[in-house]
Structure 1
Amino acid sequence: MRKTILMAVLTAAPMLSCANNGPAEEAWTLNTIADARSGIATPVDVDPPGDSPGDMFVFDQPLLNEAKETIGSNSGYCVRTLPGQFSECQWTLTMADGTITVAGREAETGTSLIPIIGGTGTYEGASGVLTTTPNGDRTFTQVLTLLKPKK
């Protein structure tokens, strides 16, 4: 009897976890440019000297729209995890209508996909992904695909 009940619970569990009883989500895109050419960009080198695990990079830089006008700031930090290849990063895009915070693994080169972990103001309850691509001129194109619960 106990085995039958356990099997029934285990069989039903996947169906229960797939149920969506909350409000539908609204998807939208926000395009920004992080400008690393100005603002604060401070490396923190820990032993051993040079590019090594635990090194940090702290930044507070202008956030631009597609017309390259300042719309806020792009502030955060990265901790080197795999020298020359990856860092674990967290940063916040701050704009007049709220903030969006992202955190995840960023590649040294190429495009990285970073999870959106939350927001405030207009972006309260936001989730999704930020796609960041270096442009070769110390700017980064950031495309945020946001999922925001409809209220």
Structure 2
Amino acid sequence: MMGCVEDAHAEDPVTLTVYADARSGIASPVDLGAPGDSPGDLFVFDQPLLNEARENIGSNSGFCVRTLPGQFNECQWTLTMADGTITVTGRESDTGTSYIPISGGTGAYLGVRGMLATTPNGDRTFTQVLTLIKAK
């Protein structure tokens, strides 16, 4: 899985599937403003990032700001792996699949663009499918 972006030709998309595991690591809500789910509340996390075999390959860490209670957050997080990082930034829904743009990368992922589709699995894990395009 690591370095697969290096093998891609410019403009040929590469798909990676990873899993964020919110059952362990840090997952801390920060209740700001009105008590309960309200605009401006924060959620801060640093959780294991797993490959398709469910082996630990790094971390999934970042934060979300509640924008529409019960429905949406504006989030930024970084997938950290041995060969580099991928940062995503965008709107995440409480339910269903959210499509979030890649905002940058380092190491093997330097210059990549694309999208992350993240889907909650109902067990505090998330399936995250990255569609990566290597810059020319």
1:52 and 2:38 matched? yes
TM-score scaled to structure 1, two decimals?
A: 0.83
**Does residue 74 in structure 1 map to residue 79 in structure 2?**
no
Question: Partner residue of 2:47?
Answer: 61
Identity across the alignment (%): 77
Q: TM-score, normalised by structure 2?
A: 0.92
Give the number of the structure with larger relative contact order, counting CA–CA contacts within 8 Å between residues 6 or more apart: 2
Which runs of structure 1 show a deviation greater than 3 angstroms over 4 or more consecutive aligned residues? none
RMSD between superposed Cα atoms in Å: 1.1
Q: Provide Cα deviations, 1:41-80, integer angstroms capped at 9, x if missing partner.
A: 1111011110000000000000000100000000000000
| Structure with the greater alpha carbon radius of gyration | 1
Contact 2:10 / 2:133 at 8 angstroms: preserved in 1? no
- Provide structure 2 residue ranges, at least 5 long, that are not aligned to the other structure: 1-8
1:144 matched to 2:133: no
Residue 107 of structure 1 corresponds to: 93
SS at match of 1:52: coil
Q: Which has the higher helix share?
A: 1
Q: How many residues align?
A: 128
